[in-house]
Amino acid sequence: MSICAISRWVLLIIIFSPSLVNAATIAEGERIFNDGMLPSGVYVEAAIQGDIPVKGAQLACVSCHRKSRLGSSESVVQVPPLDYDSLFSGVSLSVNEQRGVSQQGATQKRIYTDESLARVIRDGIKPDGQSLDEVMPRYQLNDVEMQGLLAYIKSFKLNPDPGVNETELHIATAFSDENPAEAAIMLDVLQQFFADKNANIRHETRRAQHTPWTREWWYKSYRKLILHQWHLTGSPETWAQQLELYYKEQPVFAMVSGLGTKWQIVDEFCESHQTPCLLPNIIQPPATEGYYTRYFSPGVVMEAAVLAQYHLVDPKETTVIQLVDQNLLSQLAASSYQKDLGKAKQVVTVSTDKLRQNNILNEMPASIRTVIYWGSSDHLSDQLISKLTAIEVERLCVSSTLMPDVNSIKQKWPGEFCVVSPYRFKNRQFDDARTMVWLRRKGLGDGVAMRLKFNTYYAAKLVSDAIIAIRGNFSRDFFIEKIEHMVDKSLIKPDYAHMSSGPGQRYMSRGAYVLVSSVNKEPLSIGYDWTIPD
């Protein structure tokens, strides 16, 4: 036997020895799975439909099998789960049916070995000799690369994520002490919602005790939903520690809703703990990338960008004055507007405090057509309004998010009025009907903070629907994937006008309208149609 032949044997033994499958091998497999990147740094190549090449991230495993690796369903295509039991143990008789509701219907019996799994990945041939559909790419992987991919796939055991036990599923909501009245309303909606849900699952848990094994996965997936109030007190610098303590005491599966201005700390907590956080009421999400934090809107920064676009295309607009309050949200909106419009037109930023003390508007350029006020109605006093009308400002623009009760100011303002708003403003009686029935029944239909109630109820409903859809597969990633698929189908609506979601999409409503009225008695109508800043 030559030295060359011996070294080949040694190599083969190294490759196929299970004890030597180490973390580095799994990491190599993970890169193939998620990015379509081979250890050599080149993209993996594959073919679909017989003669169509794909490479790298175009169709990496994660694309269809998803981050959860529990598969997916897109109209005609059913993608099976890749957890260890599904692949290597055949049909599971346990509580968990490794599928979500939308994936049911296709039965499976797939008992793979390393060799047959490698064969199906390379050639699309299943252990029973049948071919997989040709939308499954046939990947070109050598033995070493395949070993890495198999090691990664085999590392995936479907254990419940933190925050779930045999009987309970824990959910948190986090809020600062900035606005106790709003926090109380949000908690009222959430507590009543989960109390309702828990009342309805009592029968399911009883049925689970008397059910045949074929239906175990159905009934035994029910859990009592426990809501935890994570009240964040004091300076935001201490929030991270407070969150860790809360989580240590009782890990939660997900977070639903929250209230606070300096949200970046909570955002980082959600991302670092890989905890899905569904956030309908955060007025300004941090300017970060994220996967586990899902916001309803990009916030007032986006609204300012839409208003800037509207003013950019208006030739009559030459000089705009922005009035800014001494708070973070107001200043963020003003700097976003300045950034987007400042190059094309003259934008002057004035603080409301200063304006209250001096009549600095007299020193402004002669023709000011528009004043924007980035703040709430409480701070726009009659005195300030009269200072604006004194210099014959034609138009006042406000943000519907910062000023939820725009009508109180609109009635006082004699001239043109404009509101940048991501919210629904027409056909409300139809779209609100379902949610209003629930809110009224719970004594919450009193007209106070309705936007907060609508958005909170909607988020709670999404969370509970997604928990049903994942059945016994308590994977947070799977839970997020289900939410992504549910938003577009939902029959109820939050306060946002355009809701949609999809894989990896961080915001569920991404644009805004500019609504206008030419004189104060006129109702608002669309002045600039729904715009999504690029």
Residues in the chain, total: 534
53 binds other proteins (CB under 8 A): yes
Applying CB under 8 A, which of residues 25, 31, 33, 66 lies at the interface with other proteins?
Answer: 66
197 binds other proteins (CB under 8 A): no
| Smallest distance, other proteins to C-beta of residue 65, A | 9
177 binds other proteins (CB under 8 A): no
Nearest Cα to Cα of residue 532 among 502, 512, 508: 512
75 binds other proteins (CB under 8 A): yes
- The pair phi, psi for residue 314, each rounded to 5°, is -95, 110
28 vs 484, which CB is nearer to other proteins?
Answer: 484
297-330 burial, b at 16+ Cβ within 10 Å, e below that, comes to bbbbbbbbbbbbbbbeebeebeebbbbbbeeebb
Give the up-direction half-sphere exposure of residue 127: CA atoms within 13 A in the CB hemisphere: 13
129 binds other proteins (CB under 8 A): no
| Smallest distance, other proteins to C-beta of residue 467, A | 19
Angle at 330 between CA 327 and CA 336, to 5 degrees: 130
Which residues, other chains included, contact 263 with Cβ-Cβ below 8 Å and sequence gap of 6+? 279, 282, 284, 285, 286
128 binds other proteins (CB under 8 A): no
Q: Residue 416 and residue 517: Cα distance in Å, rounded?
A: 6
485 binds other proteins (CB under 8 A): yes
Contact 515, 526 (CB under 8 A): yes
| Smallest distance, other proteins to C-beta of residue 434, A | 18
510 binds other proteins (CB under 8 A): yes
Stretch that binds other proteins, among 49-57, 273-281, 388-396, 397-405 (CB under 8 A): 49-57
Stretch that binds other proteins, among 90-98, 195-203, 242-250, 503-511 (CB under 8 A): 503-511
113 binds other proteins (CB under 8 A): no
Give me the amino acid identity at 74. E
Per-residue mark of binding to other proteins, 87-106 (x: CB under 8 A) = ------------------xx
State how beta strands 416-421 and 512-517 pair.
Answer: antiparallel
Applying CB under 8 A, which of residues 381, 505, 518, 525 lies at the interface with other proteins?
Answer: 505
Which tokens go with 379? 């701070």
Residues 259-318 that bind other proteins (CB under 8 A): none
44 binds other proteins (CB under 8 A): no
Query: Residue 98, Cβ neighbours under 10 Å: how many?
Result: 27
Binding site for other proteins (CB under 8 A): 48-54, 57-59, 63-64, 66, 72, 74-79, 105-106, 133-135, 484-485, 488-489, 498, 500, 502-505, 509-511, 529-530, 532-534
